[in-house]
């Protein structure tokens, strides 16, 4: 796999050693078991896969290349490069500016963006409409286009499904930048509909099986269907793709559920023309990170810490998996650790930050699970480990610990 040139400040002494050791012993990435580092009074159980993925490293490399190659020019990002506050703050410190926020609200008017300016397209990609707008202004949309190749793979799969007269069911969050981009591309070639979860998918199945009418379905999916979407015409041949940062298992569950729905309606002998197999659109990094997180559930631990941006979809799904078994704290960086008794943590269900007054338990050897999202620098995870070690006055350093 390509090696990217990313700033040294995003790398780390502890995590770099762990990843290098695991790469040597498991080059084919078949072992999802974690690495345990025992520092005497605390052990860290570190996920086999986490941190920057291919798409994120590609985006970061191109962004810093844009900075270095365009001194003195206005350099814009369409929106956050990735969903990580450390990386985005660093890019802003370099003089870049965001044209929109993550909700699509305009921060810089389009009439202030000109043909000689540099515009970076983020890893999530962008909509057909925004790309056309940039091109109409004479802006180069290719040189610093950092769209993740796995997102583009979803777009290509959608186009192929559309060419075969299938309707596209997109598993994603309809306000997320990536899903908005995927929806924009898919509706160019096929009727498209966005479902967030299995509950919303149930409404689609209810219509297919004749349990609700078109008006009811369209009302439930207002703003989540392509123009002119007609359930009577467009839900008899379907294929499922996803926002690449969603839970892979949930995407598969939705696809399997819709496949069974079509089986009920059309029968085994007629299933193939009505349902397309699209398992090949699941992102490898999302899959690996989630599989490694499931392996963490086999461990015994006192708590889990997940590090990443609070608006990061893939990171929130790791929290969702871990909190099934462990007391789990979702933090953006080490600043959220106040002391051994207190930590600020993001609640993915209530969407707020709370201060928890029971963090590290008092015992001889505390076992802490550590992982992070695909957009989180290893250095940020490292700083979380270092802060806990310092607070616990650990007798050992990374040089003393066997990896």
Total domains in the fold of the chain: 3
Q: Select which of 57, 178, 250, 336 is catalytic.
A: 178
The verdict on whether 178 is a catalytic residue reads yes
Report yes or no on 294 lying in a domain.
yes
Last residue within a domain, chosen from 253, 282, 311 = 282
Do 272 and 163 share a structural domain? yes
pLDDT of amino acid 280: 62
Do 372 and 309 share a structural domain? yes
Report yes or no on 156 lying in a domain.
yes
The CA–CA distances, whole Å, from 214 to 186, 219, 231, 323, 349 equal 21, 8, 6, 38, 31
State the CATH number of the domain containing residue 39: 3.40.1010.20
Do 270 and 309 share a structural domain? no
Provide CB contacts within 8 A for 248, sequence distance 6+.
282, 283, 286, 287, 290
pLDDT of amino acid 282: 66
Last residue within a domain, chosen from 84, 110, 136 = 136
**In the 8-state DSSP scheme, what is residue 395?**
S
Residue spans of the chain under pLDDT 50: none
* DSSP for 283-329, written as a single string: -HHHHHHHHHHHHHTTS--SEEEEES-TT-HHHHHHHHHHTTTS-EE
Report yes or no on 396 lying in a domain.
no
- Where in the sequence is the domain holding 34, given as residue range(s)? 8-53+285-391
pLDDT of amino acid 402: 85
Report yes or no on 28 lying in a domain.
yes
Do 106 and 180 share a structural domain? no
Q: Residues 271, 262: contact at Cβ < 8 Å?
A: yes
Q: Residues 239, 161: contact at Cβ < 8 Å?
A: yes
Report yes or no on 126 lying in a domain.
yes
pLDDT of amino acid 1: 61
Do 218 and 263 share a structural domain? yes
| 3-state secondary structure (DSSP) of residue 193 | strand
Do 237 and 127 share a structural domain? no
pTM assigned to the model = 0.90
User: Per residue in 99-109, pLDDT tens?
Assistant: 999 888 999 99
Distance, in Å, from the CA atom of 350 to the CA atom of 173, rounded to the nearest integer, reads: 17
Do 268 and 153 share a structural domain? yes
Report yes or no on 3 lying in a domain.
no
Do 153 and 131 share a structural domain? no
Do 276 and 158 share a structural domain? yes
Last residue within a domain, chosen from 282, 313, 345 = 282
Q: Residues 100, 109: contact at Cβ < 8 Å?
A: no
Kindly provide the residue ranges of all beta strands, DSSP E only, lying in 146-279, ordered along the sequence: 167-171, 192-195, 238-242, 275-276
pLDDT of amino acid 103: 85
**Chain centre distance of CA 15:** 20
Long-range contact set of residues 27-36: C-beta below 8 Å, sequence gap at least 24: 29/288, 32/288, 32/291, 32/292, 32/294, 32/295, 33/295, 33/298, 34/292, 34/295, 34/296, 34/299, 34/369, 35/403
């Amino acid at each position: 796999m390509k090696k990217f040139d990313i700033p040294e400040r995003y790398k780390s002494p502890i995590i770099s050693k762990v990843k290098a050791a695991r790469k040597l012993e498991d080059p084919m990435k078949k072992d999802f078991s974690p690495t345990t580092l025992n520092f005497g009074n605390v052990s860290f159980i570190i996920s086999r896969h986490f941190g920057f993925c291919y798409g994120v490293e590609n985006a970061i490399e191109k962004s810093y290349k844009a900075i270095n190659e365009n001194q003195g020019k206005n350099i814009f990002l369409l929106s956050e490069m990735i969903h990580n506050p450390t990386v985005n703050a660093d890019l802003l410190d370099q003089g870049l500016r965001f044209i929109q926020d993550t909700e699509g609200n305009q921060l810089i008017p389009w009439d202030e963006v000109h043909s000689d300016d540099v515009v970076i397209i983020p890893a999530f990609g962008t909509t057909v409409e925004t790309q056309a707008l940039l091109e109409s202004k004479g802006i180069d949309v290719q040189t610093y286009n950092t769209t993740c190749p796995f997102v583009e793979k979803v777009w290509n799969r959608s186009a192929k499904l559309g060419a075969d007269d299938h309707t596209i069911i997109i598993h994603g969050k309809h306000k997320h930048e990536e899903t908005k981009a995927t929806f924009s591309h898919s509706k160019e070639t096929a009727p498209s509909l966005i479902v967030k979860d299995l509950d919303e998918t149930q409404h689609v199945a209810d219509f297919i099986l004749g349990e609700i009418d078109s008006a009811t379905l369209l009302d439930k999916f207002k703003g989540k269907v392509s123009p002119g979407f007609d359930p009577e015409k467009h839900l008899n041949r379907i294929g499922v793709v996803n926002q690449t940062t969603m839970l892979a298992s949930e995407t598969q569950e939705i696809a399997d559920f819709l496949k069974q729905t079509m089986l009920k309606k059309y029968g085994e002998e007629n299933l193939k023309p009505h349902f397309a197999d699209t398992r090949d659109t699941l992102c490898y990094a999302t899959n690996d990170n989630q599989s490694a997180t499931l392996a963490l559930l086999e461990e015994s631990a006192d708590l889990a810490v997940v590090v990443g941006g609070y608006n990061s979809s893939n990171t929130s799904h790791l929290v969702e998996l871990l909190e099934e078994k462990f007391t789990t704290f979702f933090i953006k960086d080490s600043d959220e650790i106040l002391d051994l008794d207190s930590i600020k943590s993001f609640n993915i269900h209530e969407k707020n930050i709370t201060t928890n007054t029971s963090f590290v338990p008092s015992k001889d050897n505390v076992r802490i699970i550590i992982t992070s999202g695909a957009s989180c620098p290893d250095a940020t995870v490292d700083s979380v480990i270092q802060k806990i070690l310092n607070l616990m006055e650990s007798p050992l350093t990374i040089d003393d610990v066997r990896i």
